[in-house]
Amino acid sequence: MGDHFEKGQHALLNEGEENEMEIFGYQTHGCRKTLCLAGSIFSFGILPLVFYWKPAWHVWANCVPCSLQEADIVLLRTTDEFQTYSRKKVMWIYLSALNGAFGLTPDHPLITDEECLINRAIRKPELKVRYIKVQKIRYVWNNLEGQFQKIGSLEDWLSSAKIHLKFGSGLTREEQEIRRLICGPNTIDVEITPIWKLLIKEVLNPFYIFQLFSVCLWFSEDYKEYAFAIIIMSTISIALTVYDLRTQSVKLYRLVESHNSITVPVCGRKAGVEELESRFLVPGDLLILTGNRVQMPCDAILLDGSCVVNEGMLTGESIPVTKTPLPQMDGSVPWKTQSEADYKRHILFCGTEVIQAKGACSRTVRAVVLQTGFNTAKGDLVRSILYPKPMNFKLYRDAIRFLLCLVATATIGMIYTLCVYVLSGEAPGEVVRKALDVITIAVPPALPAALTTGIIYAQKRLKKRGIFCISPQRINVCGQLNLVCFDKTGTLTREGLDIWGVMPCDKNGFQEVHSFASGRALPWGPLCAAMASCHSLILLDETIQGDPLDLKMFEATNWEMATSGDNFHIREVPAHAMVVKPSKTASQVPVEGIAILHQFPFSSALQRMTVIVQEMGGDRLAFMKGAPEKVASFCQPETVPASFVSELQIYTTQGFRVIALAYKKLEMDHHTTALTRDQVEADLIFLGLLILENRLKEETKPVLEELISARIRTVMITGDNLQTAITVARNSGMVSEGQKVILIEASESTGSSSASISWKLVEEKKPTAYENQDNYINIREEVSENSREESYHFALSGKSFQVISQHFSSLLPKILMNGTIFARMSPGQKSSLVEEFQKLDYFVGMCGDGANDCGALKMAHVGISLSEHEASVASPFTSKTPNIACVPQLIKEGRAAFVTSFCMFKYMALYSIIQYVGVLLLYWETNSLSNYQFLFQDLAITTLIGATNIFVLVLIVQLAVCLFILFADIPDLYRRLDLLCTPILWRVCIVIMLSCNFIVSLIVEEAIIENRALWMTIKRYFGYRSKSQYRIWHRALANDPTWPPLNQMSPSDLPECGKEVSYSNPVFESNEEQL
């Protein structure tokens, strides 16, 4: 049901987004509702319970399909593989409540403008708004377009000029009231779920309902002992689960509670500036940011001034990021695409801390509210915790299938029992009890407890090793991992960067490398001035803070940083400007210091940053630093050394991080604010290369070797340079000696040519010249005949990955089969890559330090965060030890828990089937086991399964007790257990039969079931092949003589390639600076 709908009855919600859902319209039907109510009464509450478990059935039973416009109930279905249903009631917001405040009428000017979604949602003349609330987000009905749309943010189509014009002066009080009523409060409301609610939700689990049914049946049969045992086990299990859920609820509440109690200055169009509680903020409000250390209560677009923000809550690293105002540009292009740099540079994200706010030209710092509540960046993070991605794990799928088989078996047993006892003339009540008994025997009520035993013990062991888990069910999945992705910076390599040296250049080319390890100060010159001033560092509480790269570069100069005072008077240098001065240990400098007048901040899309500075008593200069290739493109060609490419390649292929520096002199008669970025960044003079090193962590290489030896694939996903990533992969053992690296480069389509992809074999050479110092990588032009047969790895950039995904989609699975190195990857591309690996049926783990990895950590089957910051709160696993040694530990514990769960499942299933068969045989004689006999089996077997560490000992004790009872000849004991005394020979025969059964079972288990070689032989003989996608592709590529293509270029207009889609990818992304 629910799949055949007419036009208007069905639509997509959040189309193209991660939380995309189908929405179906329904209208409550009176007769159906009455029948369901009667059914609920006559079924003694079973029907409402079924509806609770199956919301779609509830809707289908009570309602009839209708258009979404007329619906009072909507049914939502996720578009992922799980297709989860949820039921939501359509509610109304009545604007008539505002009539008394300012006389709101249908023709009021505030609601006649239908450009904005809020006005389109208002139904006239009734002045009311239809809406639904899904996963904390409010969706209103757009009367013009006839669909539900998300509310609580400014429209994406607004241009930058429109934002400045419409919201630059703030909102009127009337506009605020209307928006407040429709958009809802600006709160990230996470209630501490009451214990009674958690308890009811847990108790209504189908397993516990079945246990309740079993317990009631046993009490009716006077089987109290085991009933009490199950009640105790279930109560402990429910109490522990409720305690864990309550603890998580309290933690999450404490994480967000401060967000809802912030007071901020808001500028109204008529009312002026007034203090307002953050929960009253609405999209379009104008915030006035004053002072330092301001917590952002919403997402906001910066309109005036500049801010330095700590985005640790989102990135996992407390690195100050400079935010610039949204430029007021002409045109109707949406503001996100209108900005020359990454649009996020203009957004102050909710939950981040504004540590410094500076107004331009003595004006205030102003920002317009972009998104409120759960629409914000912090709200989205909290929602991902509240509504995690469902987990599809084969063990649980198979367990459910097997349980259904047991239910079918129990049904057959019930029919058999009814026939036997009815024919024998037993009382109807006794017949019903005996038939229902078969269900509790065939489907063991203690099964859920048995399946969680291994998980509980594994979680305890992980906690002792400093690995914390917020999703215990994922521990079993860890045992299935066969591919692990790693971030590079901070994960495989050490956190900070160290200055290795600087290579100045002059008219004759590059000079000798200046090493800072010698302790010699860098001689004064433009290069020294660039290192001292071309950065985004700030001075906060007498401490220099900023990007680690900038910090290391500045520290290498031995200069000091200060803020100019009110008595600081230099032309066009504002008071409280940032000033850098040489310290006593610095080299002799002819200037007193350098004042930083203006910054063009670093952008991953632009790959560079530029500053305008004023030498005290000297010239006005512009300095640029960034990606070497990008910086060189802005320089006068004659100033770039001829050996630039070869020198750059030498250092990047050794794993160094290389930054280029350049400068130019500016005319003093130009005001700094009048200069555009294009004017400042033209005709620069190349200064040299700054070389930094990022060493591997000690644990990296042995851990990767251990994973590779266990046949677990390792993949590197980094935002760093591609050649640096290749070298780190070689040094870490991810690419071992003798293995080849094939560089894949894909180019976007242009006006004259289609997109293309090229394949080049990267060769490792050992140079003989002293100045080359180490191995470097170049492209091999000639390919040997046997090179295709050797082991190889693909390396590609984020830009190439995106082009391949869109233009060469048929090649993507082939590339991923051997893709090991992915560089210059944005956070979104990291998530996409993990998802693509999952499509190949890999069980994917992701290990990152929390910076830029949150999306991939959430997307992976197992996310392991090496950061304890809030950004990693959504990751299932967090390691206190900041290295990848936790990965093999987690896999080992996962395998142990998985094997334990599987063995417990087999043990409980066999126990129930054996008892089931035995009872049915006794039923044939209209006989049964006594309560004490049932008790001995059930209590001794099922209540001790939790002791996994002494499981064998428990079995030995059970066997000893059984033998004692068998041969004890104690009449009182036999009488209490309802046992019949039999001849000794019979008992000996029973022991011999049991021993033979044990020996046969052991031989079958070890020689057949656990004999991997035998099963592999059988599979080969019958031609069985794995159906996993990555296995299918592996076999196909192994038999393809043309794969991999080398030194070739393929255009996208080939039949095998995908359609062309334009895409602009941000490159030169630093893990420290990317959101």
Catalytic positions: 487
Cα 165 from Cα 775, distance rounded (Å): 58
- In this structure, are residues 821 and 725 in contact, taking their beta carbons and an 8 Å threshold? yes
Residue 956 φ then ψ, to 5°: -65, -45
Q: Where are the alpha helices (DSSP H) in 169-310?
A: 173-183, 195-203, 206-220, 224-256
Compute the chain's Rg from CA coordinates. 35
In 10 A of CB 475, how many CB atoms?
27
Edge-to-edge strand order for the sheet containing 685-693? 509-510, 498-506, 685-693, 656-666, 620-626, 608-615, 594-603, 578-582, 559-563
- In this structure, are residues 306 and 358 in contact, taking their beta carbons and an 8 Å threshold? yes
Cα 328 from Cα 335, distance rounded (Å): 9
Cα 444 from Cα 581, distance rounded (Å): 77
Cα 945 from Cα 1039, distance rounded (Å): 49
Listed in sequence order, the residues at least 6 apart from 731 whose beta carbon sits closer than 8 Å to its beta carbon are 655, 696, 701
Q: Where are the alpha helices (DSSP H) in 143-205?
A: 160-167, 173-183, 195-203
Listed in sequence order, the residues at least 6 apart from 214 whose beta carbon sits closer than 8 Å to its beta carbon are 227, 230, 440, 445
* CA dihedral sign of residues 932, 935, 941, 943: negative
Q: Where are the alpha helices (DSSP H) in 930-970?
A: 931-942, 951-967
Cα 527 from Cα 548, distance rounded (Å): 19
Quick one: tokens of 579? 């000033």
Residue 379 φ then ψ, to 5°: -60, -40
Cα 642 from Cα 795, distance rounded (Å): 28
Quick one: tokens of 705? 């070797």
Q: Which residue has the tokens 């400098």?
A: 589
- For residue 285, the cross-strand partners are none
Q: Are strands 819-823 and 713-717 parallel, antiparallel or unpaired?
A: parallel
Q: Are strands 559-563 and 578-582 parallel, antiparallel or unpaired?
A: antiparallel
The H or E element spanning position 301 is strand 299-304
- In this structure, are residues 1060 and 806 in contact, taking their beta carbons and an 8 Å threshold? yes
- In this structure, are residues 454 and 897 in contact, taking their beta carbons and an 8 Å threshold? yes
Cα 327 from Cα 302, distance rounded (Å): 9
Cα 278 from Cα 186, distance rounded (Å): 7
Cα 792 from Cα 241, distance rounded (Å): 48
Helix, strand, coil fractions of the chain, as percent rounded to 5 = 45, 20, 35
- In this structure, are residues 453 and 897 in contact, taking their beta carbons and an 8 Å threshold? no
